[in-house]
Structure 1
């Protein structure tokens, strides 16, 4: 094999190994969080506090919810062409009792976020 091609293969391997490791780590973390949510789920309500454009130009909402006086934050992508979400809307949240920082929004059957009336919850500091 030509020396030039060997150098290119080595470069490719040096780039691919960390990338594969990073992706694998992400899958492991998500899987661990999903298992915690399945093991000891709890439900509460949260409030949409922000809408923004995230990775790959996808639309996201940031929500907050309160457990035992502590406020937690979460993010979820949504489909603005399918659902009208406003800052201040109340959403349904499922979180892990053992680790309340792990949460996700409850979705309707069509994949849209389950939303309640605006400002249904009192005591949240809307930003």
Structure 2
């Protein structure tokens, strides 16, 4: 009986170690995502530059609404990004041009400015 109790305690300890190990990994991933998001917003605020971006696609997800894909170029390098659509989807179509704010420190960080439409010629 004592041996069975020791075995159960051993299993519980291993289970607790696994749980805490998984919890630590999840917290590290969440912390990294949070830090990355704050860093991106900070860089866009502190060192912005602007260029023109073009809508390349518009799509809907069942639970999260409409999203757009856009592309822009910085120093000859093409960047492709996506973001949630924050205006009526009917107002946006493929090929529309908008101003894009990007970080001078890291042009990967960008935001399509949906209130800054550029008239297509």
**TM-score normalised over the length of structure 2:** 0.73
**Deviation, structure 1 residue 52:** 3.5
**Deviation, structure 1 residue 70:** 2.2
1:83 aligns to 2:84 (yes or no): no
User: Hey, what does 2:80 align to over in structure 1?
Assistant: 73
The 2-side partners of 1:88 and 1:28 are apart by 33
Q: Which moved more, 1:64-73 or 1:15-24?
A: 64-73
Q: Deviations over 1:78-105 (max 9, x none)?
A: 257x332211111221011222221112
Q: Pick from 39, 43, 47: which aligns with 1:40? A: 47
Distance change >3 Å, CA 117–CA 100, structure 1 → 2: closer
The structure number with the bigger radius of gyration is: 2
The 1-side partners of 2:28 and 2:63 are apart by 21
Q: Deviations over 1:38-86 (max 9, x none)?
A: 2211122211112245696543211001223222122101257x33221
The 1-side partners of 2:34 and 2:96 are apart by 31
- Runs of 5+ unmatched residues, structure 2: 1-7
The 1-side partners of 2:12 and 2:63 are apart by 33
Q: Deviations over 1:21-52 (max 9, x none)?
A: 00101111122222221221112221111224
More helix by share: 2
The 2-side partners of 1:14 and 1:53 are apart by 37
| Count of matched residue positions in the alignment of Structure 1 and Structure 2 | 113
